Structure 1
Amino acid sequence: MKRIIVKRLLNAIPLLIIISMIAFLLIKLAPGDPVRSFVTPDMAPEDVERIRQSLGLDKPIYIQYFLWLQNIFVGNFGYSMITKRPVLDMILERLPATVGLMGVSLIVTLIIAIPLGLFTAVKKNSLFDRIANLISYIGISIPIFWFALMLIYLFSLKWGLLPSMGMRTVGSDSVWDIIKHGILPCTVLAFQNVSVYMRYIRSSTIHQLEEDYVQIQYAYGANKTTVLFRHVLRNVLLPIITIIGLSIPGLVGGAFITETVFSWPGLGLLGVTSIFSFDYPVIMAITLFSSLMLVIGNLFADILYSVVDPRIRLRG
């Protein structure tokens, strides 16, 4: 298993390099100039050009990329053009907030989606099944930012139950205060994922309930609960593991919107701020971290495959 993990991580290096090349090219081709952030009306053209040279923006694009890549291989992510702080320090400061929000929303998603998907499959075409499907269609269809704004309006402005922005209240360091601030953004991320996961689990469960091994278990005298949770659930979890691995980048993308709406101090808010200020080193570092999350998510899915299905472990 260790050999397979190391091999997958080594194979991910060329993939990350290709992603970084595309991201670097798109950033450079995007309209805008980071030098404008430093220009004042009384500056001479020579001063503006001197700033451009100090930032290394006067070199050709491919030279800028190889210089950046060379620094990445030695663990140097550069400095922010705006704050002048090390990019790695800025990311490590924001990473716990994003990982915590993503992790809690994923756990909430699984806790709700798995039993809900199983129950709607068993109660196929019932009133409960139709209501759950209607809610899932709504969760898949509505935009994340609109749902976030509706929650802020209802729970913060109208009813005053939960805070609308930030991660902490000024002057408060309690855990409960962080939980209250995280309820709304976590709900926004989990609602759409529950809708997607529930439909996958429902469809897979309906298919598994029609298999011969289920009828054999009933013939041996097993009850519905035993068949559902000891036999069907194991086969249902296999495609869900794939969805979990592939949904990690989606959580990062959703965090960009959610963190911006709720002013949650994570990588998403940092990324949006960096994009508007043309802070190239920070944008590239966040892109690289997001791509790395995708690779780790797929690797995590492969490991879970071998845990859930022994046949895959034996073949490996």
Structure 2
Amino acid sequence: MKVAVTGSSGLIGSALLPALRGDGHEVVTLVRRPPRDPSEIRWDPAAGTLDAAALAGVDGVVNLAGAGIGDHRWTAAYKQTLRTSRIDGTRLLAEALAGLDPRPRVLLSGSAIGWYGTNAGSAGAALDETAPPGTGFLAELARDWENATTAAQEAGIRVVRVRTGIVLSGRGGTLQRLLPIFRRGAGGRLGSGRQWLSWISLADTVDALCFLLEADGVRGPVNLVAPTPVTNAEFTSALARTLQRPAFAQVPRFALRLALGEFADEGPLASQRLAPATLVDAGFRFNHSDLATALADAVHRDA
């Protein structure tokens, strides 16, 4: 397949590119800077510019573009950046793909488990993709982000909306921010520690995206999470054991809210217990279903 990727410089994208090439796919990337070689296509989601003709012959697209959810404090301006970097770019891409002839077979478009809200599956079994949407800023963002793919779907392109959980890697994301704290022996549970965390290893994230590109029977929402969600307290204990460091601290809710503002309640204090039902039903096999193994690989191999 010829595969186009947006967000290729991010944590997931930078790991996905060599995997796609290793599987024999031809890869082109959409970049916001001037292209450096023929495999790069310039686009500017903020300005609404993309030369659709440059995408001619593409069989599949993986859309991972978007500003980091936890990279900055959620000011009104940054919340708008989170929205425009996802929604405007996805809409621009979907409309460009819909206008091609022939059109790509598949669009894997990023989303997040924030779609389910801040209290998803906490009272019972883990929720699958049939669960209703939640409320809050991230839930609304995810819904609008997914809806921005409408033009591609209406054009007959197979659209997969990839609701990604907490991706574990020593090279970026939540785990990278936690590692220095835990290595100093200052780690601990956040709030009550009872909130659920739906995680997935970076290796499984990449493998799942490669799998979904060619899984012709899969469309619509897909929970990109491991089949074994854990509580924050369980995650804290597992990471401490991996690093062989104590983790007796507890960060109270009010301290997280003071430090992180609105993001505290929708990020580290949110409880999201999700199941990868669609992936499992489609026959995907996880490399990391056990958190301890995933953390060991992330800490020692991804670092």
TM > 0.5: no
- Scaled by the length of structure 1, the TM-score of the pair is 0.21
The one of the two structures with greater contact order (alpha-carbon pairs below 8 A, sep at least 6) is: 1
* Structure that is richer in strand per residue: 2
- Scaled by the length of structure 2, the TM-score of the pair is 0.22
Structure with larger Rg: 1
